[in-house]
Amino acid sequence: METVSTCTLNQHPFLTSNPRPFASNFAYASSVSALGFTLPSSHKTSAPPNQRRKTLVTSSSIAVEHHHTQTKTAVIRIGTRGSPLALAQAHETRDKLIASHPELAEEGAIQIVIIKTTGDKILSQPLADIGGKGLFTKEIDEALINADIDIAVHSMKDVPTYLPDKTILPCNLPREDVRDAFISLTATSLADLPAGAVVGTASLRRKSQILHRYPSLKVLENFRGNVQTRLRKLNDGVVQATLLALAGLKRLNMTENVTSILSIDDMLPAVAQGAIGIACRSDDEKMAGFIASLNHDETRLAVACERAFLETLDGSCRTPIAGYASRDEDGNCVFRGLVASPDGTRVLETSRKGSYTFEEMVAMGKDAGKELLSKAGPGFFDS
């Protein structure tokens, strides 16, 4: 495990994070600029979108960190995976801790400890084939329990519905955009892809929803790797398109790669997509106090509702499950849940509405899960 300090990342020596060279070939996604980020417009209009190729930006422009040894004893050691996105989330946590607790601004007071997980080590197999739960959290949780780190920063969609003994997760940071982004060099959307085109995704949730709506498409399941790796594979022509969580692209400042954004109706997100969770040891009142001050309660309640749904279905990487809880204009919780057969031939959906309170939202998630479990019947996920 390593400690790290701030500098600028170049993810690949011959790829640049400057969006300008690629902007001139990018005309057809400019309509999503109202989302709070601006995508470059094209000055070349001679070829229709489905005949153009553009070059994707496969390195992030965020500041991340090089490894070196820290001599000062840290007040807080943050455990995280080592991908650029995981580091971006650890940095966001660090920055919020410093903003809330100025005494942590002293150099060396917070250290970031990189831990390689099972999911990081095994890249040759689809996640569904590896099996088990906690593929991206187990080793980090062990480091937390063993007091090698003080807090753990996780993508909540990677966190199993149970927490290891001796740990608690009292904090969710404000949630990012939950939607999925469509990225392609030659097409404007999934509907624009020709029959037989290959879409790369490691997510059974995405695969089943894609095939349900567009059965003429093909899905390459073992499309593994971090955001930069997957974009590089797309650049190399391994697939014609891919879907990525918009939240990750925004945290990496890589939204210039987005071709279009799928609505919630078109692609229901993964449970807890876009949410960051921070865990500590259950007997560490000092750390619990630090991270509790960062908690965003609206996100925490939404995540609790969605995870109650997932837990009821006993979901894992082997099961295509989607769920999303949000607050409507009246302040109520609206929950939508979905289960699908892996081949996309069957999709079951349900929804709930109730007060935006912990008890009722957890009950809504569980009830929705029970309904779909009953409708699915035995063997539903085996097809």
Spatial contact of 75 and 43, defined as CB atoms under 8 Å apart:
no
Ranges of H-type helices in 170-284? 204-213, 227-235, 246-251
Ranges of H-type helices in the chain? 20-23, 84-100, 118-121, 127-130, 138-145, 204-213, 227-235, 246-251, 285-292, 297-313, 358-376
User: Measured between alpha carbons, how far is 102 from 293 in angstroms, rounded to an integer?
Assistant: 13
- Whether 297 is catalytic is no
Strand order in the sheet with 347-354: 321-327, 333-340, 347-354
Give every CB contact of residue 359 below 8 A, 6+ residues apart in sequence.
none
Catalytic residue among 141, 150, 158, 177: 158
Other Cβ atoms less than 10 A from the Cβ of 145: the count is 16
Pairing of strands 276-281, 167-172: antiparallel
User: Measured between alpha carbons, how far is 207 from 294 in angstroms, rounded to an integer?
Assistant: 35
Compute the radius of gyration of the chain from its Cα atoms. 21
By CB neighbour count within 10 A (0-12 exposed, 13-18 middle, 19+ buried), where does 5 fall?
Answer: middle
User: Measured between alpha carbons, how far is 348 from 375 in angstroms, rounded to an integer?
Assistant: 8
- Catalytic residue numbers? 158
